[in-house]
Amino acid sequence: MKMSNSIETAVIQFVVAGVFLFEGTLASADGRAARPQKQVVILYTHRTLTPINADWDRGIRSALAADFNEPVDIEIEYLNLVRHRDAEYVRSWIELLKTKYATRPPDVVIPVYVPALQFTIENREVLFPKTPIVFCSAPPLMAQRAHALPHVTGVAFRLDYSGTLSAAMKSHPNRKRLILLSGISAPERAATQAAQEAMKSLNTGLEIETWEGLPVGLLIQKLQADEEKTIALMLTYDEDSDGNHYSTVEVTEQLASQCSVPIYGLYDTLLGHGIVGGSLGSAESQGELAGRQAVRVLKGESPEQIAIEGLTPATYKFDARQLDRWQLQESHLPPGSLVLFRSTTFWGQYGHYVLLSVVAFLLQSAIIVALLVNRSRRVQAEQEARDLAGKILTAQEDERRFLAREMHDDLSQRLAASAIEAGNLEQLVRGSPESMSAVGGLKEHLVTLCDDVHRLSRRIHSSILDDFGLADAIRSECVRFEERNGIPVEFRCGDLPSNIPYDVTLCLYRIAQESLWNTTKYACTDRVLVELNADPEFLHLELQDFGRGFDTTLASNHQGLGLASMSERARLVRGKIEIASSPGQGVTVSVQIPLPEDLE
């Protein structure tokens, strides 16, 4: 066992030696020893988490962070000297602090408020014999005495009794009684005595009473008994006569909520917790001043060369909610007063959201209007394009009709006459076999040419469509297709309305004609099926071959003039056309066109 302890001790010594060696190596590599982090110790009079401690602490920390550009180790000690004042308690704190900071004394000590400063000065030689002291929030006389000591400076405060009472009396001219509210701890008794002495020199004309250390319940009862003529001035209320401990903020909130007595104060920690306002000192500002002085000391400045700060005039501050409660006009407040805690109106709270919503609505409306205008223009352009396409197709049909009529009535007749003359000439040269053969060939050629012109005129414009209607016209096309190509065509036709619009019949006829022509060129089929039907709402035309087919996904990107013409014709009569096909499966062309509602 002894050997084991020796080994452990040796290991620890080795590790410690290694650490020192490593630190020494780093220091030599840098050329100088590493500078230790600065340490600041803050000694608070009050217990943890009191509101005024929070104000002081916020100010001190903000100044250290803003003005000192190196990391600072901040140690906090809550002495709680208001509640505990016996010698044994103080000795225990002395032993604790002495042990805690013996190996590494702090660079600056900041005692906050009177008891902490007294404790630090009295025990300085034992606790912090060579450490600079920057006190925070000490009365003027105590601050001067402390500043006279070596390495001590700090921040003092002066309470503005005159300013607060002047504002209270002007706001409540009918109230003739002033109650000073205070606890009975040693610091509070000193504060109460200072307030009483200040009141004697003011000559306010008020009936002044001091209520010290009353339990809160009794304090509320007494204030409620004489509410109409009383003004209260809250000093501090940390301890009552029964030994109960409070925070001044808690007591102020209870009194304000249960008593109809306007309460004024001397420091802004109470603002927002029930006091009307007053000429208020700022604990946070005191903390900021102390923090700045501590930074100056940390940077090497001697505390003796730093003057006492903080004795500047207080600021008039008021709670807007309490002004409304007591129906006080802001115009009656001292010039330069700050009014805080205003109740936000709907516009003040949500105005920017409303403005953003209005702007967003206007932008959205503008976008919608622009879209509607563009849509209207696009619809108009599409309608104009449809009208133009319709006019082009109508002009094309008129031109077809004209050409067909000219070919049938003029060119065909002239060719027929030429064939007849060739026949007559054949009779005249009957005695010459060679001439007769030549003239006979000419006659046959003219007859064939006449038949071709006649067929071409029928293809350009079929008079059957005008004379006999849609079904016969498509049937005629099927017959001609079968005669010309030798491919059987099965035509099926159901009952059709009697007065189908001409543009619809022309559309279906041209689609059937173009589909049969495409079948001749591409299908390689052995039969064709054509169906024409109608229901109460639509005309249906379907043409199906059983040939080699094609890939519609590839054909859609390379659509020919014929397919485009069929699609355009269907679109102009508000119909739709679908072409279904796949390689080896033939082609099916389906057309559906709506019928007018007044057809029989």
Task: Verify that 440 and 400 share a domain, yes or no.
Answer: yes
CATH of the domain at 326: 3.40.50.2300
* DSSP single-letter state for residue 410: I
Residue 527 lies in a domain: yes
Residue 348 lies in a domain: no
Task: Verify that 532 and 577 share a domain, yes or no.
Answer: yes
Residue 587 lies in a domain: yes
Task: Verify that 411 and 510 share a domain, yes or no.
Answer: no
Query: Does the pLDDT of residue 30 top 50, yes or no?
Result: no
Query: Does the pLDDT of residue 22 top 50, yes or no?
Result: no
| Amino acid type, 327 | Q
pLDDT class for 488, splitting at 50, 70, 90? very high
Rg (CA), the chain: 56
Task: Verify that 561 and 436 share a domain, yes or no.
Answer: no
Q: What is the 3-state secondary structure (H, E, C) of 331-373?
A: HHCCCCCEEECCCCCHHHHHHHHHHHHHHHHHHHHHHHHHHHH
Task: Verify that 138 and 186 share a domain, yes or no.
Answer: no
pLDDT of residue 413: 63
pLDDT class for 4, splitting at 50, 70, 90? very low
pLDDT of residue 27: 43
Task: Verify that 203 and 107 share a domain, yes or no.
Answer: no
Task: Verify that 19 and 125 share a domain, yes or no.
Answer: no
Distance CA 384, CA 392 (A): 12
Of 400, 428, 461, which one is at a domain's C-terminal end? 461
Task: Verify that 570 and 498 share a domain, yes or no.
Answer: yes
**Residue 7 belongs to domain spanning:** 1-34
CATH of the domain at 479: 3.30.565.10
Residue 204 lies in a domain: yes
pLDDT of residue 1: 35
Name the nearest CA neighbour of 182 among 226, 256, 238, 112: 238
Query: Does the pLDDT of residue 316 top 60, yes or no?
Result: yes
Query: Does the pLDDT of residue 12 top 90, yes or no?
Result: no
Who has greater pLDDT, 556 or 163? 163
Q: What is the 3-state secondary structure (H, E, C) of 149-181?
A: CCCEEEEECCCCHHHHHHHHHHHCCCCCEEEEE
pLDDT digits over 128-141, tens only? Answer: 998 999 999 999 99
Per the structure, how many domains does the chain have? 5
Query: Does the pLDDT of residue 211 top 90, yes or no?
Result: yes
Residue 213 lies in a domain: yes
Task: Verify that 368 and 328 share a domain, yes or no.
Answer: no
pLDDT class for 118, splitting at 50, 70, 90? very high
Residue 241 lies in a domain: yes
Q: How many CB atoms lie within 10 A of CB 41?
A: 23
Tokens of 432: 């010459």
362-383 residues labelled b (16+ CB within 10 A) or e (exposed):
eeeeeeeeeeeeeeeeeeeeee
Residue 371 lies in a domain: yes
Task: Verify that 469 and 422 share a domain, yes or no.
Answer: no
Strand, helix or coil for residue 102: coil
Mean pLDDT of 287-308: 96
Strand, helix or coil for residue 176: coil
pLDDT of residue 24: 45
pLDDT class for 225, splitting at 50, 70, 90? confident
Mean pLDDT of 349-356: 81
Query: Does the pLDDT of residue 362 top 80, yes or no?
Result: yes
| Amino acid type, 200 | K
Task: Verify that 29 and 148 share a domain, yes or no.
Answer: no
Residue 214 lies in a domain: yes
Mean pLDDT of 3-22: 38
Q: Count Cβ atoms within 10 A of the Cβ of residue 168 and give its class: 0-12 exposed, 13-18 middle, 19 or more buried.
A: buried
pLDDT class for 397, splitting at 50, 70, 90? low
Mean pLDDT of 585-599: 87
Task: Verify that 372 and 334 share a domain, yes or no.
Answer: no
